[in-house]
């Protein structure tokens, strides 16, 4: 659901594969509207825990034409992440990016 949402947005650049089969349980992206650190703060205000930065991959981000500062937004998922959690995240992203 989240990958479909991120792919549907013209203002978001998904980092890595858009297919769930080829992904780890971590999703990174950048927004054209807000820098990653600002977006992370706004999502925190909505109750979403995220990270922003280069996550020790500054050279990779530079190679992808992404500034290591502020870097990317990173979302991590675990076996107990529910569909409701993902829906809550998508609603928070819609609100924050509108």
Residue 37 has pLDDT above 90, yes or no: yes
CB-CB contact of 28 with 34 (8 Å)? no
CA 6 from centroid of its chain's CA atoms: 8
pLDDT at 11: 96
Nearest-Å Rg of the Cα atoms of the chain is: 13
pLDDT at 66: 96
Kindly list the domain boundaries of the chain, sorted by start residue. 2-97
pLDDT at 79: 85
pLDDT at 22: 80
pLDDT at 26: 94
Q: Which numeric CATH code is attached to 2-97?
A: 3.90.1150.10
- With CA atoms as reference, report the closest residue to 78 among 86, 67, 88: 86
Residue 70 tokens, joined = 């502020």
d(CA 13, CA 88): 20
């Amino acid at each position: 659901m989240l990958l479909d949402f991120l792919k549907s947005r013209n203002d978001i650049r998904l980092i890595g594969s858009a297919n769930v089969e080829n992904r780890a349980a971590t999703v990174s992206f950048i927004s054209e509207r807000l820098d990653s650190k600002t977006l992370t703060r706004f999502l925190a205000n909505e109750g979403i825990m995220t990270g922003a930065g280069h996550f020790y991959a500054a050279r990779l981000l530079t190679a992808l034409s992404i500034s290591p500062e502020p870097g990317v937004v990173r979302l991590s998922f675990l076996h107990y992440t529910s569909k409701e959690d993902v829906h809550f995240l998508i609603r928070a992203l819609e609100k924050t990016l509108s």
